[in-house]
Amino acid sequence: MASDGYHESLNRLTKDARNMHRAIVSLKEELEAIDWYQERADACSDRLLKDVLLQYRNEEIEHATAVMEWIRRHDGHFDAMMRAYQLMLTEQPITGVEKGTGTSGSAPCPPRGSASAARGSDRVDGACAERVAPSC
């Protein structure tokens, strides 16, 4: 895959940037695999093979979800956007957030490294209380 390569010289990238690149490339690969298995299952005329292909697709969905969670935990802006859009476990309109509707009213967590994040979140619901530090 052409996107596996870095756009900048490796010696100019931090360890965190390289790890994020690995995660993003992995997510792209998982999403591509989901699409492949879905297409194959849709086109398949054999019920048993279709079931096997859908099982494989579901495993790829699990992998993609795990990588998205890692990205959220390691990038403050991803975390804030996922919270703002409430993309996890909700049925609210996706486009409502930008229009000022469709959110629960909770402000997103401050990005990691900001003054608010350094002193702790201003939110009282505790949703921003803990972020997982990079461990790679």
d(CA 17, CA 20): 5
pLDDT of residue 8: 85
pLDDT of residue 99: 65
21 belongs to a structural domain:
yes
In sequence order, which residues have a C-beta less than 8 Å from that of residue 11 and are 6 or more positions away? none
Length of the chain: 136
- Structural domain that includes position 67: 12-119
85 belongs to a structural domain:
yes
In sequence order, which residues have a C-beta less than 8 Å from that of residue 132 and are 6 or more positions away? 73, 74
pLDDT of residue 85: 77
1 belongs to a structural domain:
no
Q: Taking the complete model, does pTM exceed 0.75, yes or no? A: no
4 belongs to a structural domain:
no
- Considering its fold, how many domains does the chain have in total? 1
Inter-residue contact 128 to 121 (CB < 8 Å)? yes
Q: Coil, strand, or helix at residue 110?
A: coil
pLDDT tens over the chain, length 136 residues: 344 688 888 889 999 999 999 999 999 999 999 999 999 999 999 999 999 999 999 999 999 999 999 999 999 999 998 888 775 666 666 676 666 654 444 444 555 554 444 434 433 334 443 433 333 3
134 belongs to a structural domain:
no
131 belongs to a structural domain:
no
